[in-house]
Amino acid sequence: MATLRVYAILASLFLPIFSTHGQNIDSLESVLRNTTNDSVRLVTLIELSKANQYKDFSRAAQFSKTALTLAERQNWIWGKTKTYRQEVYLAAISGDYASAIKFANQNLQLVVSQKDSVAISESLNFVGYGYNELGKYDEAYYYFAQSYRVARGIRDSLKMAISMFNIGTVLTELGQYDLALDHFRVATRTSEAVGDWDGLPYNQDAVGDVFLRKKDYKKAEENFQKALKNTRARNLTILEPRVLSHLARLYFETNDFSKALLAYDSAIKIFIHSSNEFGEAEANLGKSEVLIEQGKFDDALKLIEATLKMALQFNADKMSISCYKLLSTLAERKGDFKAALQYHKSYKQMEDSLFSQDMVEKIFQDQLRFKTETKDYEIEQLSKARTEQDQEIRREEFVRNILVVVVALSIILLFTVYRSGKRRVQINQLLINHQEEIKKRNDELEQLNQVKDKFFSIISHDLRSPMNALSGILNLMESENVSREEFVSLSKELRTQFNHTRTLINNLLDWALLQMDKLKIQPEKIDLAKLVTENITLLSTFQLKEISLVNRISENLWGWGDLNMINLVLRNLILNGIKFSKGGGNIEISATEKDGWITIAVKDNGVGIRPEVQQILFEKTMGYSTRGTANEKGTGLGLILCKEFVEKNGGKIWLESEVGKGSTFYFTLRKA
């Protein structure tokens, strides 16, 4: 369940000018009855809607609709802007996110035509909020990133913090937990700096949600309790039920079902009071999980079916997925395995559709663009600092020249000149350092663009081609119009294509994580002989060339490094040997130790590598690849990953090769 900081914007925008005590509502209604001025009437209608939104939601909605009709009849842009915002707010607190998106888009069009950057940033957040609640994460990420760009352009720190927070909520839903925590920390620091105290409980609740998903229940509860305390202290009515729902989920996962039910019931009570049917449905869905664990299947079924009906009504894909998953679980617990399978299929179909490859790629591209723009912004700030320093230097020189004229031929003059000269040297050195830093950032950006182009090229060509080939082979097999001999040939081709695609996808995933600095070194003792044996056993099962794989590493030889990284290096080097060896060839893996280091060698008797190719094999921006002896395809990523992983573990990698006689790849690893 996402908790978006768009609520904080809405709350600040829509705080009633008048208090919500009964006598002031009466005063507003008196003004409405007695005024003949349409402008006063519109403003009063909106204030009445705000005053009733947590007291009598239906009256609040009616006042807002009347105001909208008046604004549209008079065609007042200012009036439509006010009423669209109130409609967005009412839709949000009632859980009608489709309507929230509609009115937010209408408001966005108006404020764009007025070139109101502050309102544009807010409206973009509104639109992104609606999409995020409905599970449209690619759309949500796009609008939140756009909001951040606009806020950054006008240097509005508060709105930058809110947009950064909202991006973090999307990353949480996508499972990028560490990156999400980074965004929440930035948002928290900014909120504290600008005195945005309402923002702190939002951040605490979101951080608690991340730790809950990571199964760190202690940290999750600490953050949820802080969020609940601050929410009640700040009277953030719209946030409290969400925090309670998160706490209920925590109690459920720690098997404290009685506390979970109490927390869900408290949240549902608040949702009902604010007429938030969507929030009530989400809380009921969580409550149904508890009821299933307590064996109250009929009660759970009623809640799930009611929630699914609402989810389908609002096109809330995320909620629909949860409903089908719980229906499958419930049917399985009741022994109805046929229904369980059917619900599970619906769940998987919707999940695959929601988290499609197109959506993930779109978000990845937006992330890459956002990261690049952020670096550009940092460079711009460095350039601005340099300009300010140049101006400061000119001012200091002016002051110094005046002092030279006033105190000429004096000891004070000599002392001042000496100190001024020393200061100039320091400032010039600072400028040189800044210039070097800017050049370094430019080089990093250029390399980042090259990596991006390489990555997209691989996705668009090398991943698509084997998938198309696999699809074609499967279609032929499905048609059942092939002979037994053709079937055997197609099976071998299918295995080859599958192995290539699996290796490509694994390398692409490791490559992407490496470029985003998400791979952390976790060194441990590695039994090298056992690791090589495991790889030989794995690779022997799907290589079709009858190539002999020989492990010549002695037992009880222990290395020190990250097991997963070293395993990937060994697997890629052995696969390379298989790829460029002819049928019946031989590959040997051996190791020697010297001065606390182990040198591992993977030797083949394949076709060898030309000297000019050897020079570029490990270049990050080259990605050289050629077909193997059995026409196997490659991407050039494998050896690049090997080099970076070996270096991250403190070692180095190189090769020796002679055309026609084979190749030997070496890499070093610390001895345990």
Q: Coil, helix or strand for 590?
A: strand
- If phi > 0 it is left, if psi is from -120 to 50 it is alpha, else beta; for residue 313 that is alpha
Three-state secondary-structure class, residue 649 = coil
Beta-strand relationship, 597-604 and 586-594: antiparallel
Q: How far apart are CA 348 and CA 344, in angstroms?
A: 6
More confident residue, 47 or 25: 47
Lowest average pLDDT, out of 154-168, 327-341, 496-510, 654-668, goes to: 496-510
**pLDDT for 207:** 93
CATH of 254-355, one of 3.40.50.300, 1.25.40.10, 3.30.565.10, 3.30.465.10: 1.25.40.10
Please report how the helices 240-253 and 257-273 are oriented relative to each other, as an axis angle in degrees rounded to 10: 160
Give the lowest-confidence range in 91-100, 251-260, 293-302, 353-362. Answer: 353-362
Judge whether residue 452 has pLDDT over 70: no
Q: 562 pairs with which residues across the strands?
A: 523
CB 634 within 8 A of CB 578: no
Is the CB of residue 582 less than 8 Å from the CB of residue 632?
no
Quote the pTM value. 0.48
- Which of 9-18, 38-47, 53-62, 269-278 comes out lowest in average pLDDT? 9-18
Position 30 scores a pLDDT of: 87
Q: Domain ranges for the chain, please list them.
A: 1-176, 254-355, 365-479, 520-671
Residue 438 confidence (pLDDT): 81
Dist. CA 630–CA 543, nearest whole Å: 11
**Residue 493 has what pLDDT?**
63
CATH superfamily of 1-176: Tetratricopeptide repeat domain (1.25.40.10)
C-alpha to C-alpha distance for 191 and 198, rounded to whole angstroms: 9
* Rounded mean pLDDT, 30-55: 87
520-671 shares the fold of 1-176: no
Query: Are 45 and 67 a contacting pair, CB within 8 Å?
Result: yes
Q: Mind listing the pLDDT tens digit for each residue in 390-434? A: 566 667 666 677 776 666 777 877 777 777 777 777 877 877 887
**Is the pLDDT assigned to residue 318 strictly greater than 70?**
yes
pLDDT tier at 1, thresholds 50, 70, 90: very low
Query: Is the CB of residue 615 less than 8 Å from the CB of residue 566?
Result: no
pLDDT tens per residue across span 250-267:
998 899 999 988 988 998
Sequence-distant (≥ 6) Cβ neighbours of residue 546 within 8 angstroms: 583, 584
Please provide the CATH number assigned to the domain covering 520-671.
Answer: 3.30.565.10
Helix (H, G, I), strand (E, B) or coil at 5: coil
Which value, to the nearest 10 degrees, does the dihedral of the CA atoms of residues 285, 286, 290, 296 take?
-10
**Surface-to-core class of residue 135, CB atoms within 10 Å of its CB (0-12 exposed, 13-18 middle, 19+ buried):** buried
The pLDDT score that the predictor gives to residue 654 is 93
Selection from 189, 190, 240, 247 nearest residue 222 by Cα? 247
Q: How far lies 571's CA from each of 342, 507, 566, 603, 623, in Å?
A: 39, 11, 9, 13, 18
Is pLDDT at 485 greater than 80 in this prediction? no
Residue-by-residue DSSP string for 613-648? HHTTTT-TTT------TT-----SHHHHHHHHHHHH
Would you place residue 121 in the very low, low, confident or very high pLDDT band (cuts 50, 70, 90)? confident
Own/partner long-range contacts of 193-196 (Cβ < 8 Å, ≥24 apart): 193/157, 194/157, 194/158, 194/161, 196/8, 196/158, 196/161
Distance in angstroms (rounded) separating the CA atoms of residues 600 and 592: 7
Helix (H) or strand (E) holding 581: none
The C-alpha atoms of residue 640 and residue 663 are separated, in whole angstroms, by 17
Highest mean pLDDT among 77-81, 382-386, 614-618: 77-81
State yes or no: pLDDT of 15 exceeds 60: no
Of 589, 559, 572, 547, nearest in space to 625 by CA: 572
pLDDT score recorded for residue 13: 41
Comparing 409 with 80, the larger pLDDT belongs to 80
Listed in order, strand segments (DSSP E) in 495-557 are 523-527, 548-551
Amino acid at 414: L
Q: What does the alpha-carbon distance between residue 616 and residue 647 come to, in Å, rounded to a whole number?
A: 17
> Where residue 44 falls among pLDDT bands split at 50, 70, 90?
very high
Band (pLDDT 50/70/90 cuts) for residue 14 is very low
Reported confidence tier of residue 8, pLDDT bands at 50, 70, 90: very low
